[in-house]
Amino acid sequence: MRTAKALMVRKPINFEEVLKITKKYIEEAESVIVEKTVELTEATYQKLIDNPLTETFDFLKNQGGMKDGKMLTIGIKCKDRPTLLINAEGYGYARYMGIALNELTSVLHNI
């Protein structure tokens, strides 16, 4: 378990929306708790960033919530891709999605 600072976007349409909103409201980023990390295949990761609300992902079910006023997230990793932070609030979709601020600069540079 670790903490990260991120702006968690509620019900994002896709990852591009997360980046756009994070860039605009970066000063509102808050500390979140990263409970665990999941490694995904390229295909599953792409599906997640393209359709975070419309696909059902079993690894997100029963994950997330709040603890001591901080959002509980899981880290989503994929080789050569930015680590996503997701709070599913128990659902099988990415109800909240963010990116740790320490990874944001490299992501924006590569766009």
Specify if 20 maps to a domain.
yes
Specify if 83 maps to a domain.
yes
Specify if 109 maps to a domain.
no
In the chain, how many domains are there? 1
The answer to whether the CB of 55 falls within 8 A of the CB of 48 is yes
Residue 48, sorted as left (phi over 0), alpha (psi -120 to 50) or beta, turns out to be: alpha
Confidence (pTM): 0.91
Specify if 108 maps to a domain.
no
Specify if 72 maps to a domain.
yes
pLDDT at residue 11 in the model = 97
Please, what's the largest Cα pairwise distance for the chain? Answer: 35
Specify if 14 maps to a domain.
yes
Specify if 107 maps to a domain.
no
pLDDT at residue 104 in the model = 79
The per-residue b/e assignment along 25-38, b for 16 or more CB within 10 angstroms, e otherwise, is eeeebeebbbbeeb
Q: Which residues of the chain are under the pLDDT cut of 50?
A: none
The domain of 32 spans 2-102
Report the C-alpha gap between 102 and 12 in whole angstroms.
20
